[in-house]
């Protein structure tokens, strides 16, 4: 709780992205270093051991990907598997919010809101423990201290837990070396015979790639680059029913599950199909691959009704983009004014290769607050979902400001040729700058209710400040004593807000 009621930090301006060459050297040094450690007789002046202290962390934060059949390039389950990588693990976990960090999630820890749903990051303490263990020779310790081994189903896991409904596409085939493909795949029928609402959705690719043969990034393991999709109801003759289309968050490689606000479930209409109405982009990963798209839906109970409308604040810029060749700190800016009180439930920077970082800021009157600043690694598309108590609650008139920081220099391994000027466009070698986050429009009543609930939930005093809620702590402007006459002109929500505020 205290982290949500914290200080508000302004943007950092200098990027500290490591030069590619340095990174490679460091990697090699790290590997050599770890090899050296295990053959050396360094005496440990700490009690941290693999089995007792480090294996539980790796089980919790890494092996869901780093296991046979997982998305990670090598398993990190046993001591024998982890120890050759100890130095590299220390390096990658220490990158925190920079491209290349492990686990892949890039929230800046000294900047903006800190509480997010399904945040897979290591804590500061865990990062420090890993570093200390490696620096002390990465000792194995007593195997009897090991945590109980985890078991996994074959293939990828659902990161959001077991879904209520799982549907699967027809097979999608990409040959080795085949050029990129954009198009529409056959609709996927969803077995629901009445309107339901979903609280979360997750999309994953299941394929026949032999991961022991592929040791590259996520891009090498999958063929579906992204899919814009929706659900739509169909009649008995197989014709789409007009106006029944409900858009879903875009699926992109490496994405986390989308968790919707509890009051803004998305409609899954009866007799629906998942339609890739707006194209799916496939790319070859170098081997003949047959893949399926699987969609997991997580349902609200029957009878659930949403309270909020989804609004789409258009934040980003697809035109005015000019990134000089070799430049390191080009900034792109975009502004949007909120027309209604708005709750932001997710932030999702969408950049391409040169993207290094993106920040979202709210400007209301004299308040300028950083909501989120995140690093960017073009290997991973991460959507950052705010915890319920940390979702920004912004009054109408707030200006949202997104800033992208672009690194088009040699230091960025995702840039194919840093001599090139970079402009906007759809292809991966051209650029985008968009916030694909989720925003919900509120009525004034709902806005007051949410602020009252926030004050109550966080038990705020007048001296606290809440990032992302500029009116939560505004000085009292209502009359000091509420008369019955005052109440008559107020809505129940305003009265409740007033009472909590007192």
When binding is defined by CB under 6 A, the residue of 37, 48, 49, 92 that contacts ligand HEC is 92
In the complex, the smallest distance separating the C-beta of residue 457 from ligand HEC, rounded to whole angstroms, is: 30
In the complex, the smallest distance separating the C-beta of residue 26 from ligand HEC, rounded to whole angstroms, is: 11
DSSP labels, 128-170: HHHHHHHHTT-----GGGPPPPP---SSPPPTT-S-SEEEEPP
- Nearest Cα to Cα of residue 309 among 447, 449, 450, 440: 440
Binding mask 57-76 for ligand HEC (x = CB under 6 A): ----xx-xxx----xxx---
In the complex, the smallest distance separating the C-beta of residue 392 from ligand HEC, rounded to whole angstroms, is: 26
When binding is defined by CB under 6 A, the residue of 85, 222, 448, 497 that contacts ligand HEC is 85
CA angle 448, 452, 453 (to 5 degrees): 115
In the complex, the smallest distance separating the C-beta of residue 95 from ligand HEC, rounded to whole angstroms, is: 10
As a whole number of angstroms, the distance between CA 340 and CA 148 comes to: 51
Q: How distant is the alpha carbon of residue 266 from its chain centre?
A: 19
Instruction: List the structure tokens of 90.
Output: 């220390």
104: contact with ligand HEC by CB under 6 A: yes
As a whole number of angstroms, the distance between CA 389 and CA 454 comes to: 7
376: contact with ligand HEC by CB under 6 A: no
Q: Which SS3 state, helix, strand or coil, does residue 52 take?
A: helix
CB nearer ligand HEC, residue 217 or residue 342: 217
- From residue 129, alpha-carbon distances to 40, 61, 91, 126, 203 in Å are 21, 14, 13, 5, 34
Binding mask 214-233 for ligand HEC (x = CB under 6 A): ---xx---------------
As a whole number of angstroms, the distance between CA 155 and CA 14 comes to: 40
In the complex, the smallest distance separating the C-beta of residue 378 from ligand HEC, rounded to whole angstroms, is: 10
As a whole number of angstroms, the distance between CA 450 and CA 465 comes to: 16
Q: Which stretch binds ligand HEC (CB under 6 A): 4-12, 13-21, 98-106, 383-391?
A: 98-106
Strand partners, 369: 362
- Nearest Cα to Cα of residue 164 among 35, 39, 297, 64: 297
Residue whose pair of structure tokens reads 């990465």 in the numeric block = 138
In the complex, the smallest distance separating the C-beta of residue 52 from ligand HEC, rounded to whole angstroms, is: 17
In the complex, the smallest distance separating the C-beta of residue 377 from ligand HEC, rounded to whole angstroms, is: 7
93: contact with ligand HEC by CB under 6 A: yes
In the complex, the smallest distance separating the C-beta of residue 86 from ligand HEC, rounded to whole angstroms, is: 9
Across 163-177, b (16+ Cβ under 10 Å) vs e yields bebebebeebebeee
CB nearer ligand HEC, residue 218 or residue 368: 218
As a whole number of angstroms, the distance between CA 258 and CA 222 comes to: 20
Q: Which stretch binds ligand HEC (CB under 6 A): 56-64, 224-232, 305-313, 392-400?
A: 56-64
The kind and range of the H/E element at 245 are none
CB nearer ligand HEC, residue 62 or residue 272: 62
For residue 221, count other CB atoms closer than 10 A to its CB: 23
CB nearer ligand HEC, residue 289 or residue 398: 289
CB nearer ligand HEC, residue 169 or residue 217: 217
160: contact with ligand HEC by CB under 6 A: no
Query: Dihedral sign, CA of 488, 491, 495, 501?
Result: negative
Instruction: List the structure tokens of 298.
Output: 């997580």
Q: Which stretch binds ligand HEC (CB under 6 A): 33-41, 84-92, 201-209, 447-455?
A: 84-92
In the complex, the smallest distance separating the C-beta of residue 85 from ligand HEC, rounded to whole angstroms, is: 5
The residues in 193-212 that bind ligand HEC, with binding defined as CB under 6 A, are none
102: contact with ligand HEC by CB under 6 A: yes
In the complex, the smallest distance separating the C-beta of residue 126 from ligand HEC, rounded to whole angstroms, is: 8
As a whole number of angstroms, the distance between CA 273 and CA 230 comes to: 8
- From residue 443, alpha-carbon distances to 365, 395, 400 in Å are 20, 10, 19
Length of the chain: 502
The DSSP call for residue 85 is G
In the complex, the smallest distance separating the C-beta of residue 70 from ligand HEC, rounded to whole angstroms, is: 7
For ligand HEC (CB under 6 A), the number of binding residues is 21
When binding is defined by CB under 6 A, the residue of 18, 54, 88, 280 that contacts ligand HEC is 88
Residue whose pair of structure tokens reads 């985890």 in the numeric block = 150
CB nearer ligand HEC, residue 68 or residue 337: 68
CB nearer ligand HEC, residue 133 or residue 297: 133
CB nearer ligand HEC, residue 64 or residue 408: 64
In the complex, the smallest distance separating the C-beta of residue 30 from ligand HEC, rounded to whole angstroms, is: 9
22 Cβ partners below 8 Å, 6+ apart? none
In the complex, the smallest distance separating the C-beta of residue 384 from ligand HEC, rounded to whole angstroms, is: 15
CB nearer ligand HEC, residue 204 or residue 340: 204
Do you find a cis peptide bond into 103, omega within 30 degrees of 0? yes
CB nearer ligand HEC, residue 131 or residue 166: 131
Binding mask 120-139 for ligand HEC (x = CB under 6 A): x-x-----------------
Residues engaged in binding ligand HEC (CB under 6 A): 61-62, 64-66, 71-73, 85, 88-89, 92-93, 102-104, 120, 122, 217-218, 379
């Amino acid at each position: 709780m205290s982290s949500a009621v914290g200080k508000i930090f302004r943007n950092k301006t200098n990027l500290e992205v490591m030069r590619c060459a340095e990174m490679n050297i460091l990697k090699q040094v790290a590997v050599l270093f770890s090899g050296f450690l295990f053959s050396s007789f360094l005496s440990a002046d700490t009690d941290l051991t693999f089995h007792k202290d480090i294996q539980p962390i790796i089980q919790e934060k890494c092996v869901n990907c780093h296991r046979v059949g997982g998305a990670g390039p090598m398993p990190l389950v046993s001591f024998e598997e982890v120890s050759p990588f100890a130095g590299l693990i220390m390096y990658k976990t220490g990158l925190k919010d920079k491209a290349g960090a492990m686990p892949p999630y890039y929230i800046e820890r000294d900047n903006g809101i800190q509480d997010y749903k399904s945040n897979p990051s290591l804590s500061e303490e865990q990062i420090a423990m890993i570093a200390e263990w490696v620096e002390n020779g990465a000792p194995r310790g007593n195997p009897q201290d090991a945590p109980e081994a985890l078991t996994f189903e074959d293939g990828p896991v659902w990161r959001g837990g077991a879904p209520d409904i799982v549907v699967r596409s027809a097979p999608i085939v990409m040959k080795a070396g085949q050029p990129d493909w954009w198009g529409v795949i056959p609709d996927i029928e969803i077995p629901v015979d009445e309107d339901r609402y979903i609280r979360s959705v997750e999309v994953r690719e299941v394929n026949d790639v032999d991961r022991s043969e592929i040791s590259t990034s996520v891009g090498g393991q999958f063929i579906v680059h992204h899919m814009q999709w929706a659900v739509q109801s169909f009649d008995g003759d197989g014709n789409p029913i007009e106006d029944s289309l409900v858009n879903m968050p875009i699926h992109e490689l490496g994405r986390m599950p989308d968790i919707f606000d509890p009051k803004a479930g998305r409609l899954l209409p009866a007799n629906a199909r998942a339609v890739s109405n707006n194209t799916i982009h496939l790319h070859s990963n170098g081997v003949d691959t047959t893949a399926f798209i699987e969609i997991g839906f997580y349902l609200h109970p029957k009878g659930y009704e949403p309270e909020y409308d989804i609004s789409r604040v258009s934040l980003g810029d697809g035109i005015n983009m000019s990134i000089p060749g070799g430049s390191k700190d080009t900034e792109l800016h975009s502004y949007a004014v909120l027309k209604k009180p708005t709750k932001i439930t997710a932030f999702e920077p969408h950049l391409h290769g040169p993207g290094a970082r993106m920040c979202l800021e709210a400007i209301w009157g004299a308040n300028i607050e950083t909501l989120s600043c995140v690093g960017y690694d073009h290997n991973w598309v991460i959507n950052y979902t705010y915890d319920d108590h940390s979702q920004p609650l912004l009054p109408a008139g707030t200006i949202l400001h997104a800033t992208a920081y672009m690194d088009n220099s040699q230091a960025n391994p995702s840039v194919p040729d840093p001599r090139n000027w970079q402009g906007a466009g759809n292809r991966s070698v051209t650029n985008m700058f968009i916030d694909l986050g989720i925003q919900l429009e509120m009525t004034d009543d709902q806005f007051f209710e949410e602020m009252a609930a926030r004050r109550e939930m966080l038990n705020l005093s007048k001296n606290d400040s809440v990032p992302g809620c500029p009116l939560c702590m505004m000085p009292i402007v209502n009359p000091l004593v509420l008369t019955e006459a005052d109440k008559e002109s107020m809505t129940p929500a305003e009265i409740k807000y007033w009472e909590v505020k007192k």
